[in-house]
Structure 1
Amino acid sequence: MIRLVPNHTAQIKRSETVTFTFDGTPVQGHRGETLVSALMRAGHLNLREAPNDSAPRGAFCCMGLCQECAVVVQGQVVEACRTDVSADLVVERA
């Protein structure tokens, strides 16, 4: 038998909302969450293109092992799943 439980989403305390840019487009995220979470929630699933065939790449392992979510932040290539959102961050496709 399935027991229905109340929806507790209203009780979740989120950090403040901040705005950063991804390829020049403003994206909102919560301070301290990962870039990949904020980008996926905003519908940005293609974070880079594969070097061999230019196929779209995005989040795969979400723990920093595969480097599929690599993006450029302030001139450095970083994993979006290991980088926190902060205000006025400028993020570009790798």
Structure 2
Amino acid sequence: MLRRLREVTDPVTFSFDGCPVTAERGDTLAAALLAGGIDTIRHSVVGDQPRAPYCLMGVCFECLVTVDGVQNRQSCLMEVRDGMVVASQRGGRQVLQGNR
């Protein structure tokens, strides 16, 4: 498990799958989730295997989450915000059907 090297001095709180998580202002979402002890943030499209942040620089797409209702956000490229609502993803994104 990962842990912070320093105490959180400027905290923000967000939710992940309905549970509160406290992070340092300026953390990326992926880093905040890992530091909060969350090691599975999505499940793969093929095989439904657990996935976690891997490269932490926007290349691998293993850190996809739903943020404030928007799917497929790369958590390693997003800064945490107070009150943010984050949800894990399972499989591929859902396509909304519009009127044709």
What TM bracket, shorter-length normalisation? Answer: 0.7 to 0.9
Q: For 1:11-90, what aligned pairs fall within 5 Å after superposition?
A: 16-76=10-70, 77-90=72-85
Give the C-alpha shift of residue 91 in structure 1.
Answer: 0.3
Answer with 1 or 2: which has the greater Rg. 1
Taking structure 1 as the reference length, what is the TM-score of the superposition? Answer: 0.82
1:38 aligned counterpart, secondary structure: helix
| Displacement over 3 Å in runs of 4+ | none
2:39 aligned counterpart, secondary structure: coil
Q: Distance in 2 between matches of 1:37 and 1:59?
A: 8
Give the C-alpha shift of residue 89 in structure 1.
Answer: 0.3
Give the C-alpha shift of residue 16 in structure 1.
Answer: 1.2
Gaps of 5+ in 2: 90-100
Q: For 1:2-13, what aligned pairs fall within 5 Å after superposition?
A: none
Q: Percent identity?
A: 37
Say how many residue pairs are matched: 84
Q: Distance in 2 between matches of 1:44 and 1:22?
A: 9
Give the C-alpha shift of residue 90 in structure 1.
Answer: 0.3
Taking structure 2 as the reference length, what is the TM-score of the superposition? Answer: 0.77
Please report the RMSD computed on the Cα atoms of aligned residues, expressed in angstroms.
1.7
